């Protein structure tokens, strides 16, 4: 039969692409509850949904930071039934730690981590009772490996990973599957917002050397990474659908194979020296190492494209 999929953060980016892709499934396997915090931003999703709007896709209000809005949305569904949760809503943040207030860090955790905790608390009891369900969570490669100037964002994704890894064990006892989708860079609003905030950022809270590293090394470097290795939200959506329809969904799925060598460094050296040295060299001896890395990644990408 058809499965009801609730997706959060559908006004843009990956959430929008996942909702539209599921709703337009040729085999009509899904009923999509596409949710967003601000219904005023429904235009782009309506456009992407096309004919599926109000047939296999309905749009509902849901703010992942507000328990009442989550409950109201779930209560409005027949039997409160959600077969698949795609927990996608999330925000990014980059910059030197000294320039970020604890309040701003809390807000980020409130969305990226507590948003997930709120949704799972609301849906898990019903999934357990029905002995079925799938919790799909948009994590990141930064949920596996921390990256320079992404301290707080990465911490929030590590939180998400630890939460799901722990939960997956008891969930499985009730026949509920758990999957962490781990994209590398994806070209969405997310990227634009993060850079926009970075340009506006008051760097007077940190020393000159750190500010210089952020502005002159990190920012140009990471923009290059997005431009050369970034995936489209549609690519990530396509892989998310594969995960949802898999007979035996994996606990983790990395969407960008070019990032696998990076995440593998961690498992190759339990002391943590190997990834630390590699990232240090990539950042501070960046010109040569960066260009070499990028060159190799481009070759790999071309090979992957030809397959």
Nearer to ligand NAD, 31 or 118 (CB): 118
- Here the contacts of 250-255 (C-beta below 8 Å, separation 24 or greater) are 250/179, 251/164, 251/165, 251/168, 251/178, 251/179, 251/180, 252/179, 252/180, 252/182, 253/179, 253/180, 253/181, 253/182, 254/141, 254/182, 254/183, 254/184, 255/181, 255/182, 255/183, 255/184, 255/231
Q: How far is the CB of 294 from ligand NAD (least distance, A)?
A: 17
Q: How far is the CB of 270 from ligand NAD (least distance, A)?
A: 25
Say how far apart CA 123 and CA 108 lie, in whole Å. 22
Is-contact 8 115, C-beta < 8 A? yes
Q: Which of 153, 218, 221, 259 is catalytic?
A: 153
Nearer to ligand NAD, 89 or 211 (CB): 89
Q: How far is the CB of 89 from ligand NAD (least distance, A)?
A: 3
Which residues bind to ligand NAD, rule: CB under 6 A? 8-9, 11-15, 36-37, 63-65, 88-91, 111, 138, 140, 183, 185-186, 188-191, 233
Q: How far is the CB of 230 from ligand NAD (least distance, A)?
A: 7
Nearer to ligand NAD, 203 or 225 (CB): 225
Nearer to ligand NAD, 96 or 115 (CB): 115
Q: How far is the CB of 209 from ligand NAD (least distance, A)?
A: 27
Whether 221 is catalytic: no
Q: Please give the sequence-ordered ranges of beta strands (E in DSSP) within 30-132, or none if there are none.
A: 30-36, 57-61, 84-87
Q: Which residue has the tokens 């998310």?
A: 240
Residue 132, SS3 per DSSP: coil
Q: Burial, 94: exposed, middle or buried (Cβ in 10 Å; 0-12, 13-18, 19+)? A: buried
Core vs surface per residue 196-213: b (16+ CB within 10 A) or e: eebeebebeebeeebbeb
Nearer to ligand NAD, 127 or 138 (CB): 138
Active-site residues: which are they? 153
């Amino acid at each position: 039969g058809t499965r009801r999929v609730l997706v959060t953060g559908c006004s843009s980016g990956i959430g929008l692409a996942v909702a539209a892709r599921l709703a337009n499934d040729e085999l009509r396997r899904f009923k999509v509850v596409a949710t967003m915090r601000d219904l005023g931003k429904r235009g782009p999703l309506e456009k992407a949904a096309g004919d599926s709007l109000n047939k296999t896709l309905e749009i509902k209000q849901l703010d992942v930071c507000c328990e009442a809005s989550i409950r109201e949305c779930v209560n409005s569904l027949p039997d409160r039934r959600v077969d698949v949760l795609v927990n996608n809503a999330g925000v990014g943040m980059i910059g030197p730690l000294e320039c970020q207030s604890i309040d701003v860090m809390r807000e980020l955790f409130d969305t990226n981590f507590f948003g997930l905790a709120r949704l799972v608390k609301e849906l898990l009891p019903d999934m357990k009772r029905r002995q079925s369900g799938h919790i799909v969570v948009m994590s990141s490669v930064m949920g596996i490996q921390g990256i320079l100037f992404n301290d707080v964002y990465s911490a929030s994704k590590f939180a998400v990973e630890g939460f799901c890894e722990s939960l997956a064990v008891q969930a499985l006892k009730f026949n509920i599957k758990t999957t962490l989708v781990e994209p590398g860079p994806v070209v969405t609003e997310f990227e634009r917002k993060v850079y926009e905030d970075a340009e506006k950022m008051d760097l007077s809270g940190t020393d000159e050397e750190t500010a210089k590293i952020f502005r002159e090394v990190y920012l140009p470097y990471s923009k290059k990474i997005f431009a050369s290795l970034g995936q489209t939200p549609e690519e990530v959506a396509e892989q998310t659908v594969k995960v949802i329809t898999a007979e035996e969904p994996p606990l983790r799925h990395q969407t960008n194979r070019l990032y696998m060598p990076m995440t593998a460094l961690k498992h190759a050296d339990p002391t943590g020296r190997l990834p630390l040295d590699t990232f240090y060299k990539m950042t501070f001896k960046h010109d040569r190492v960066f260009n070499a890395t990028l060159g190799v990644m481009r070759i790999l990408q071309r090979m992957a494209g030809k397959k």
